[in-house]
Amino acid sequence: MRPHLRNSLILCVLTLIVYAQTFSFGFVTIDDPSWIVNNAFVNSGVNATNVRWAFSFNTVDALSNWMPFTFLSLMIDAQLFGMGGGSFHLTNVLLHCASVLFLYAALVQLTGATTKSAIVAALFAVHPLHVESVAWVTERKDVLSLCFGHAAIWAYAMYVTGARMKYYLASVALFLCSLLSKQTLVTLPFLLLLLDYWPLYRTSALANPLAATTDEGPAGSVPWRRLIVEKIPFLILTVLFCGLALYSQTNPMEFAGQFSLPYRMLNAATSYTEYVGKTFWPTGLTLFYPHRTISPLAGILASGFLLLACGLAFVWRRRKPYVFTGWFWFLGTLVPVIGLVQIGMQRMADRYTYLPLTGIFLLVVWLVDDLVRDSTLRKLVLPMITALSILLLTLTAFQQTALWGDNVALYSHGLAVTEENGRMHQMLAVALWERKDLQASLRHFEASARLLPQNHIVYEKWGSLLREMGQTDEAVQKLQRSIEINPQYAPAYFTLGRIWESRGDLDKARELYEATLQHAPGFDSAWYNLGLIDLKAGRQPEAIAAFQRALEINPRHASAHNNLGVIYLFQQNFSQAKFHFEEALHIDPELKQAKQGLEYMKSQTNGSR
C-alpha cells in the first residue's frame, strides 16, 4: 500500500475512533438552540429567503456573527437529513477529517517529510483540546473554516513548489471561503510568511541546506519585496474581515469595560502558558473557563516563560528553524482570541486552539526527531513513544467527547474541574430544567446569581423557570432584576408580558411586548403575542399585520399561519385561509385547528355544489 494512502486511512480511522460516537448525540443547550434548533432560517433548509438571510447582516443583529458559509452548511444538513442532531455531528466529523487530510497533504508538500507530517496530522486529529470544536454543532464554523484554511495552505505550498499561478489563485479563493465561514484565520498572511521562512526556505536569511548556492544568493530564495507583494491579496481580505468581525460584535466593548488593560495583559500571558500546559497534559478541560484573580507573580512567571521561549526561537532560528516557525505559528494565530480585546465572558476556550496547536505539534515532532537523529532511540524507542502518545491522546479525547452526549454530564464535569464557575451553574440549571428536575435547576440558578450578581441572563432564565412553575410573584422579581441590570434585554420584557397576559392585564402585556420589540425588533414571539391580544380585542387588521410580521421574521411559525387562516376564514377569504392552514400543517402536521379549518372549507365547498 502506498505510504500516503496508508497514512490517510490511519488518520481517518483515528478521527472516527474519537468522534464516531457523536453520530448518536443531540444538541447542547448552549448556542445550538439559537443557531440551529429554533432558528427558522436554518431548520427550514435551503431556499432563496434563507440564503439571502445567511448573507445579510440580519445575522449580526440576531446572532452577533456574519458567517454565511457556516449558516449555509447548516441549512444543507437540515435540508438533506432533517433536524436530528446526529446528521449535523456527522458533517462536523467529516469536515474535521477532511481538515486532517488537507493538513497532512500541506505538510508533505511543504516539508517532504511523510512520517513526521503524518504524526503532526494525527496529533491534530485526536488532541483533546480540539474536541470542543468538533463535538459542538455550533462550532461548525471552526471545522468548516479550518478545512478551507488547511486547503489554502496546501494550495499555497503547491504554488510555491510548483510555481503554478492557478494554485496561488486557489489559495486566495480558499482563504476567502475560510473567512466566509469564520474570521479566525485572519492571521494566514503572517502564517504564510513563517512558512516562507521554514520549511519553504524562500528568504535569503535562511538558505535551504539541500539547495545549491549561486552568485546572487541562496538558490530558491525570494526577495522580501516579492514575498510581501504576494501576500497583498491575503492582507486585503484580512483587513476587510477583521473589520467585519468587529462590526459583527454588537457591542465589542461590552465586556472589555469589565476588565482593565493590565488584567487583560496578565490574562493573555497566563492563558498562553495554560494552553501550552494543556497541550502536553490535557486535563481539566471544560466548556467555560471563568475569569479569576491573577497574582502578579503568576503574571511575571508566565511573561518570563513567553519571553524565554521567544528568545530561544529567535536564537535557534538558523540552527533549528522549525522552532521559530512552530512557536510563532502558535503565538501569532492565538493573538485574535487571546483576550487582549475581550469579547464574551470566557477567560479562555479550548476551541481557540484549533488552529494554533499545530505550531506546537510541528515544533515538538521536528525537534524530537532532530535530537535523536544519531541515536539508536530513533528506530527502537521513538516509534513506541509516538504510538503510545497518540493512543493516550485518542483515549482522552474519546472520554472528553463522550461528555458531549449529555448536557447534564457536560456541565457537571465543568463544575467539577473549575472553581466559582457561575456561568457553568447557569448552563447546568438550564439543562436540569430541560430534564424537568426543577428543584435542582433552581438551586443552580441561585448559585449562578450568587457568583454572577450582575448577569442579567441568569435572572431572566431564573424568572422564566419560576413562571413555568406558577410562582409568578417571585418570577416578576427576578425578571425586574434582569431589566434593572440590563434595561435593553428583550427576553425579560417578553416573559414579564406573558405573566401579565396570563393575569388578564392585556394593556400591561401589550406595553411589555412593545418594549420587547423596541429593544429587539426581530423578536417574532412578541409580534405573535401582540397579534393574539389584537385578535382577542377584535382588531383584525392589526392582528393580521402582527402575525404577518412574525412570519417575515420566522417563516416556520405554524401558529401564526394558523391564526391568519382563522381570521381569513372568518372574513370568508377562503383562498388566503386555505393557504395559511396548509402552510401551518406543512410545518406542524398535528395542528388540529388548521385541520378543522380545511375540513370546514371542504364541507362548505361540497355543500354548495
Residue 1 pLDDT level (bands cut at 50, 70, 90) = low
User: pLDDT category, 21, cuts 50, 70, 90?
Assistant: very high
pLDDT in tens, 458-471: 999 999 999 999 99
**170-184, 215-229, 404-418: which range is least confident on average?**
215-229
pLDDT of 339 reads 84
Q: What is the pLDDT of residue 153?
A: 98
Beta bridge partners of 217: 214
Instruction: Give yes or no for a contact between 36 and 67, defined as CB atoms under 8 angstroms apart.
Output: no
**Cα distance between residue 156 and residue 190, in whole Å:** 13
Domains and CATH numbers, the chain: 3-26+84-405 (no CATH), 526-609 (1.25.40.10)
- Which own/partner contact pairs does 370-379 have at CB distance under 8 Å and 24+ positions apart? 370/320, 370/322
Highest mean pLDDT among 255-264, 290-299, 481-490: 481-490
Q: 245 Cβ partners below 8 Å, 6+ apart?
A: 183, 186
Closest CA to 110 of 171, 46, 53, 176: 171
Residues 6+ apart with CB under 8 A from 180: 67, 68, 69
Residue (of 452, 409, 407, 450) closest to 430 by Cα position: 407
Question: What percent of the chain has a predicted confidence (pLDDT) above 70?
Answer: 94
216 pLDDT exceeds 50?
no
What pLDDT, in 10s, does the model give residues 369-391? 998 887 777 778 889 999 999 99
Pairing of strands 213-214, 217-218: antiparallel
Q: Which one-letter DSSP state was computed for residue 218?
A: E
Nearest residue to 14 via CA among 395, 404, 384:
395
* Mean pLDDT value of segment 82-102: 97
Phi, psi of 364 (to 5 degrees): -70, -45
Give the pLDDT mean for 447-464: 96
Identify the band that residue 204 occupies on the pLDDT scale cut at 50, 70 and 90.
low
**What would you measure as the largest C-alpha separation in the chain, in angstroms?**
100
Global pTM exceeds 0.85: yes
Q: How many CB atoms lie within 10 A of CB 473?
A: 8
Per residue, the 3-state secondary structure of 149-216, as one string, reads: HHHHHHHHHHHHHHCCHHHHHHHHHHHHHHHHHCHHHHHHHHHHHHHHHCCCCCCCCCCCCCCCEECC
